[in-house]
């Protein structure tokens, strides 16, 4: 079973997170940030991942520390759950529509973390959530998961739809890239022999 448990405690956040890449039945999310709860529920559902998360953060300051630190913890969990990455597909991409928004997401589970977003949110906030935190989450996740992540907004006028499209597209691409490929069972998907 490909799973991981992460505890991250700082002066700004206290996070307990468990991730199961192969059992979507286990999802319970309390990030302390309403909009992020919604995005992580979508991520778990569309990735077919089991995700349990509890975060107590300094949201009286703003949502930045909780959002970034959850991205870090989820990235750490994703990397740990994949282990040596034997037999996975490694690459995947998806173009995902969310009403008028259209998001392209491409991932490489390369072991080299990098995030390359091109997003234009028409508003600075979605409710009380700062839209710039979408990129902060994606960057923290990608770097700590050790994946190369490209996210492009191809269309979109509604900030909520753009953000939702990003989380759904990431989930769908990761689901495929982390999937075990029966033709490559037990093999590291790299000519280097390590990822």
User: Hey, what domains does the chain have and what are their CATH numbers?
Assistant: 3-184 (3.30.230.40)
pTM of the model: 0.95
Pairing of strands 148-155, 50-57: unpaired
pLDDT at position 24 is: 83
pLDDT in tens, 57-74: 999 999 999 999 999 999
pLDDT at position 189 is: 77
Q: What is the mean pLDDT of residues 24-51?
A: 95
Work out the number of other CB atoms within 10 angstroms of the CB of residue 157. 11
pLDDT at position 145 is: 98
Max intra-chain CA distance, the chain: 51
Work out the number of other CB atoms within 10 angstroms of the CB of residue 133. 23
pLDDT at position 184 is: 85
pLDDT at position 191 is: 74
pLDDT in tens, 143-194: 999 999 999 999 999 999 999 999 999 999 999 999 999 988 888 877 777 7
| Percentage, residues of the chain above pLDDT 70 | 100
Q: What is the mean pLDDT of residues 46-56?
A: 98
């Amino acid at each position: 079973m490909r799973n991981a448990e992460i505890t991250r405690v700082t002066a700004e956040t206290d996070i307990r997170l468990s991730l199961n890449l192969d059992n979507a039945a286990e999802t319970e999310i309390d990030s302390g940030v309403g909009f992020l709860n919604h995005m992580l529920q979508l991520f778990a559902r569309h990735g077919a991942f089991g995700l349990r998360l509890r975060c107590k953060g300094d949201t009286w300051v703003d949502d930045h520390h909780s959002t970034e630190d959850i991205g870090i913890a989820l990235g750490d969990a994703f990397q740990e759950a994949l282990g040596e990455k034997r037999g996975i597909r490694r690459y995947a991409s998806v173009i995902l529509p969310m009403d008028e928004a259209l998001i392209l997401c491409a991932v490489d589970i390369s072991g080299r973390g990098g995030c390359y977003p091109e997003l234009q949110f028409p508003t600075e906030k979605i409710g009380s959530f700062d839209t710039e935190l979408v990129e902060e989450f994606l960057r923290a996740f990608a770097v700590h998961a050790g994946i190369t992540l490209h996210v492009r907004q191809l269309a979109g006028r509604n900030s909520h739809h753009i953000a939702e499209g990003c989380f759904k597209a990431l989930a769908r691409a990761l689901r495929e890239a982390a999937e075990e490929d029966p033709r490559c069972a037990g093999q590291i998907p790299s000519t280097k022999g390590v990822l």
